[in-house]
Amino acid sequence: MTEGPLLDFFRAARGAGLRISPAESIDATRAVQVVGFADRARLKDTLSLVLAKTAEEKQSFGEVFELFFRRGDYGEEGGPDGGAGEAPPADRPDPPQSGEGQGGGGEGGEGGGAGSGGDLARMLLANDQAALAAAVERAGQEAGLGNIALFTQVNLFTRRILDRMGLQALDRAIAAAPESERGQRLRRGRERLREQVRGFVEQALQLYARGETEAFRERRLRETRLAAIERRDHERMRQLVRAMARRLATQYGRNRKRDRRGVLDVRRTLRRNMGWEGIPFHVIWKQERIEKPKLVVLCDVSGSVAAVAQFLLLFLYSLNEALSGLHAFAFCGNLVEVSDILEGKPIEAAIPAVMERAGYGSSNYGMALADFEREHLRLLDSHTTVIILGDGRGNRTEPRADILATMAERAKQVVWLNPEYRTLWGTGDSDMPRYAPHCRVVAMCSTLQQLERVIGDLLRDGG
């Protein structure tokens, strides 16, 4: 009977940011079957050893554990606080089934008739906190409390749980003898129970809606223009960038082979089918080797695109497992190589240092391209992808598109990521129409979602 509560706990823990694999869930369930629920400290230590891997995860685990296994006082006012240290419902005797059958019994007796209030009234009068807590848990599961996602659903789930516990029968018992001592005790117990159930639902909102809230926030940040990300969201964006980069690095971080469908490898096919006298039961297709890409990145860090450039540099340097070589340059006017800064400092300190060295000035693409041609053109070969991030606005200076043409001839491809809307390309001082013919890919890239898609396509195709 341990699986139900534990599955809910695993879901709450994942919503809090813990990475729990199916195998770890199985291990935790087996461990709990050994240690049981009676000793909560031992239960917490056991689950922590199995589920939490880092210091941050252990802190999050502790918060979720205390919130999930906390029990309130569901009895009469003045009753003993027996709920805080109780075991979860998995180790308790099953309470009477909620909802059906709670209005029966004889008048005034423990199992009385229409005015008795049923099992809920009996538990309130007896101040049976263990049974009340178990009944609330059971009713919450029946009501689908684990699906709560919005604070506006608190009243709805509170009412559903109370109805399943037998609130209507309890109301009839109170109405049958409103002035009697029993009726007054039941009325007080009902109000206290209502408050406690509401607190239980709010606790579930904290547990189960956290993951949905974080997922919604992440979706919003991924779809928000990078230049419009508020400073308070920068740390969360850095976490998203790192997670995204790790995901791509895991997927594309090694040399791969891709079947060339339709191109038969005759030699390997004949060898594979020699046991069948050469009849090709197993067809082998030729494969092409996809090597890890080499990247040269030129980032415009002028004031108009500085925010986007910071996130691109962070993203690319988090991808180092998937890249065989990365050279990063920043420019407003003159080109500055910043690979040493990004390699020699933590990324949080490196990005501000790059911006301090080369950022926030006025763009001059022609000067930056001329500097690259003079000092770094040797970096380009048939395996190199050049990525340029910028709006292509050179403040009416000479764009030197001829140098970009030379770079395109030497490199495997040139990819231009422009944070502006396409409708603005070529307007005012934009030189994008002169640069675009020399690029294999020219894409709008103003959000993290667009950035992941473009970089993922490059890695998938081997840069």
Q: At what angle do helices 154-165 and 167-176 cross, to 10 degrees?
A: 70
Task: Enumerate helices (H) and strands (E) in the chain, giving the number of each.
Answer: 18, 8
Whether 49 and 182 share a structural domain: no
CA 108 from centroid of its chain's CA atoms = 55
| CB proximity list for 368: less than 8 A, separation 6 or greater | 298, 300, 329, 331, 333, 334, 335
pLDDT at 149: 78
Torsion of CA 30, 34, 38, 41, to 10 degrees: -80
CA distance linking residue 461 with residue 463, whole number of Å: 6
Torsion over CA of 58, 8, 238 and 389, rounded to 10 degrees?
150
Question: 312 and 367: one domain?
Answer: yes
CA-closest candidate to residue 11, choices 207, 231, 294, 247:
207
Same domain, 174 and 265: no
Indicate if 308 and 397 belong to the same structural domain.
yes
| 241 occurs within a structural domain | no
Q: At CB < 8 A and 24+ separation, what contacts does 235-238 make?
A: 237/311, 237/448, 238/314, 238/347, 238/348
Q: Classify residue 228: in a domain, yes or no.
A: no
Domain boundary among 267, 290, 313: 290
Instruction: Quote the CA–CA distance of 303 and 393 in Å, as a whole number.
Output: 12
Give residues with Cβ within 8 angstroms of 228, minimum separation 6.
none
Look up tokens 């038969």; give the residue. 264
Q: What distance in Å separates the CA atoms of residue 105 and residue 111, rounded to the nearest whole number?
A: 4
> Both 100 and 213 in a single domain?
yes
Per-residue pLDDT of the chain (463 residues; tens, 9 = 90+): 456 678 878 877 887 778 888 888 899 999 998 998 888 889 999 999 888 888 888 888 888 888 887 755 555 554 434 443 444 444 444 444 444 444 443 333 444 444 566 889 889 888 888 889 889 988 988 888 877 877 888 999 999 999 999 999 999 988 888 888 888 899 999 999 999 999 889 888 877 777 666 777 778 888 888 877 887 787 788 778 777 777 776 665 555 455 555 677 778 888 888 878 777 777 787 776 656 668 898 989 887 787 777 777 777 667 665 565 678 898 988 898 888 787 777 767 777 888 787 777 788 999 999 999 999 999 999 889 898 989 999 999 999 999 999 999 999 999 999 989 999 999 999 999 999 999 999 999 888 888 888 877 776 665 5
User: Domain ends where: 269, 290, 311?
Assistant: 290
Rounded Cα distance between 450 and 442, Å, is: 12
Residue 240 lies in a domain: no
Sequence-ordered list of residues with C-beta below 8 angstroms from that of 162, at least 6 positions apart, any chain: 139, 193, 194, 197
Q: How far is CA 379 from CA 117, 382, 385, 400, 407, in A?
A: 83, 10, 10, 19, 10
Residue matched to tokens 């199995």: 50
Indicate if 378 and 444 belong to the same structural domain. yes
The pLDDT of residue 310 is: 75
pLDDT of 98 reads 44
User: Domain holding 430: CATH number?
Assistant: 3.40.50.410
- Which helix (DSSP H) or strand (DSSP E) does residue 186 occupy? helix 181-223
Count of positions (residues) in the chain = 463
- The DSSP line for 355-398 is HHHH-SS---HHHHHHHHHHHTGGG--TTEEEEEES--B-TTS-
Measured over the CA atoms of residue 274, residue 279, residue 281 and residue 283, the dihedral's sign is: positive
Which residues fall within 8 angstroms of residue 30, CB to CB, at 6 or more apart? none
* The pLDDT of residue 254: 53
pTM above 0.85, yes or no: no
Instruction: Classify residue 307: in a domain, yes or no.
Output: yes
Structural domain span for residue 306: 291-460
How far is it, in rounded angstroms, from Cα 41 to Cα 30? 17
DSSP 153: G
Q: Taking a C-beta distance cutoff of 8 angstroms, is the pair 173, 122 a contact?
A: no
Number of domains comprising the chain: 4
- The tokens for 296 are 């040269």
Please check whether residue 180 lies inside any domain of the structure. yes
Q: What's the token pair of residue 222?
A: 């991924």
Same-domain pairing of 338 and 286:
no
